[in-house]
Amino acid sequence: MLATIAAAIVLAAVTPTTHLAAAPLTPRVPGEPVPVRNGDYTYTVDIVAGVVHVEAHIRVANEGSVGVGTCFTHFLLPVPNGTVGHRAFDRSLELAVESASATSGATESTLVVRLDDCLSYGRPSALKVTYDIPAGAPRSTAAARIGADYVAFVAWSAGRPGGGSIKIVVPTSLTADSLGSDWTVAAQGTNTVYTKNPVRDPSTYRVLFGARSAAAADVVPVSVDDHRFRLLAAPGDDEWVAHVTGRLADDLAALEQAIGRPWPITGTYTLRETYAPVGLAAANWPTDPDATDVGERLDELGVLYGLAGAWFGSDLFVDQWLAQALARTRAAAAASVQGITADPPTPDSVDAAVQAIVDEIGVEALAEVLGYVERGASAYSFAAPGTDSEPASPPPVDWREFLDLLEQVGGSMRATELLTPFVPEADREWLQLRATARRSYAHLEQRGGDWRPPRGVRHAMAAWAFADAEELIERAIVVLDRRDQLDAALAGSQIDMPDDLREAYEAATDDFAAVAELIGERTSVAPVVVHAEESDQQASGLVAAIGLLGSDAGRQLDTALAAFAIGDVDAARDNAFAAIDATSSATFEGAKRLILTIGSALAALVAALSVRDIVRYLRLRRAGGALA
């Protein structure tokens, strides 16, 4: 909701009043707002007064984006509901300030700052705006929580992307719960100063700042099955502790079911109570891998939102917009598991897009995708889960890698279409290149059959180096053409395609010529080896077997086949020719041996009989008798 309000403010700020060039610059009332170029915000916690003092140095400029005849009368700033003491200054001149009423249920309103003079084309202006954020008790409507041991509020800046900064000043007795490495920390007298500069997108960035003293660290340990948790409440808020303790087991089980993955934390996980306005369910970014913030409200969704961050934190995901949409939608799904109704995603929102993808591929496929994320495995990886090829400390994935996983591993056909509106505009041209490269990659997969795409191609696709991938795919196709020639040469035989050729192809990074040469060498000797096998099969029967007695043909054929399988082309050729020589003359040699053997046996018989016996035998044969 906050992002929607901020976006509306930005949209409202880009349509100034336009006048004819010849007309005097007399803007209509109330006029149009000038966009904020830079906004450097300082939040100073005043424990004694119970407020956060905000001082914003604002720079606006009329850059004539809709023509030089443009004049601006005021600018707009978002402020938390309930802020007081609004003032604005142009150097020493105080400007008129009014607070526009917020829409029902909103946690922010709009501050309208009137310029002293109409800001014409080419003019910049440096201004200062101040106001206070009053504190209140947990679950009150106040926009801050301030005490000697605990402080919490939401901070932001203003301006174009990269044009804002945030500085938070708190007493040194308080230590921030968690801020990312993009924040700097410095001591300044009795205060600690936390600074974020620059802010990547001030129109959407919100930080849930919480800080506690050592005295506030009253930790309540809780165990759920074998999982250990620490509850860190605001001082004295026993209601929150009881609420979280009562919900933890059921919420954890429901999330595991909705996400399809077990609880990912092996150590103790801390749940910190924090002030979070309605609609700002997102935790700070980057996240703390050992802790998360849970809102102070005693509702049915707060613990679910907090726990979901363990699966979708910045240690696993780079892009906040994507990770938090995953966390929110899976928390809502976990609520549904328990029969709790959560508000459906706003149409055309990133949450609605993420939910549509999960609906398409199912929880089981999502769980497989998240398994790849946890292991740091590429969408184009063929390594078995848990192998040494995966990094010991996987880096977080960005939206590009996650999109690849959704489609390559999860099987989504709509992920690109659904996520494109939320991809940074400067990156969208990559999606066109990706679509072309993925078509080429799919063709290579189909063309290769059981020969999976080479490592170099897969690495280029995973790195979104699509020009490199396209070039490597073309070279891989040439190798597959060579393979098909070898396959044709082996057709009709019982000789398998050698495994080392497939392995060399799949392992190739960029030296495809070497793989093609390996295949070419086998192709050159394949006809001889096939002929040797055919000759061996034709040399069958008793006569051929007798002809092969004492021959090395069988051994020579086996040696030829073994040499062919491992790529020893010379040995394969020599032994195949030797086997052919032996088997091709086996029938003739067998017949010759039979004739000689029969002739020798007949001569021995004649020598053993007397002439009288031979004559008697011949007479009896004529008479039909038998030799007795």
DSSP states of 291-305 = EEEEESS--SSHHHH
DSSP assignment of 136-195: --TTSS-SEEE-SSEEEEEE--EESTT-EEEEEEEETT-EES---TTEEEEEETTEEEEE
Q: What is the pLDDT of residue 382?
A: 82
Helices 238-259 + 320-337 axis angle, to 10: 90
CA end-to-end span of the chain: 120
Residue among 318, 263, 269, 319 at smallest CA distance from 289: 269
Neighbours of 375 (CB within 10 A): 16
Chain position carrying tokens 């409440």 = 233
Q: What is the pLDDT of residue 553?
A: 54
Tokens of 558: 């086996």
Q: What is the pLDDT of residue 426?
A: 86
Q: What is the pLDDT of residue 609?
A: 47
Q: Walk along the chain (628 residues) in steps of 10 and give the mean pLDDT of each run.
A: 37 32 39 85 97 96 65 89 95 92 76 87 86 95 94 94 95 90 94 95 88 86 95 93 97 98 96 79 74 91 92 93 94 96 92 98 98 94 68 90 97 97 91 96 96 96 97 97 96 93 94 94 93 68 40 69 91 83 50 47 49 45 47
Residue 286: asked if its preceding bond is cis (omega within 30°), the reply is: yes
Taking the C-alpha atoms of residue 194 and residue 176, their distance in angstroms, rounded to an integer, is 9
Tokens of 78: 């978002």
Q: What is the pLDDT of residue 13?
A: 36
Q: Find out whether 482 and 523 touch, Cβ atoms under 8 Å.
A: yes
Taking the C-alpha atoms of residue 500 and residue 566, their distance in angstroms, rounded to an integer, is 7
Which residues does 74 contact at the CB level (< 8 Å), separation at least 6? Answer: 30, 31, 33, 34, 112, 113, 114, 115
Q: What is the pLDDT of residue 182?
A: 86
Q: Which amino acid is at 67?
A: G
> 482: part of which helix (H) or strand (E)?
helix 466-490
Tell me, rounded to whole angstroms, the distance of Cα 596 from its chain centroid.
79
Residue among 560, 554, 540 at smallest CA distance from 495: 560
pTM of the model: 0.78
Neighbours of 263 (CB within 10 A): 18
Residue 166 exposed, middle or buried by CB count within 10 Å (0-12, 13-18, 19+):
buried
Dihedral (Cα; 583, 589, 594, 596), 10-degree rounding: -160
Dihedral (Cα; 378, 382, 386, 388), 10-degree rounding: -90
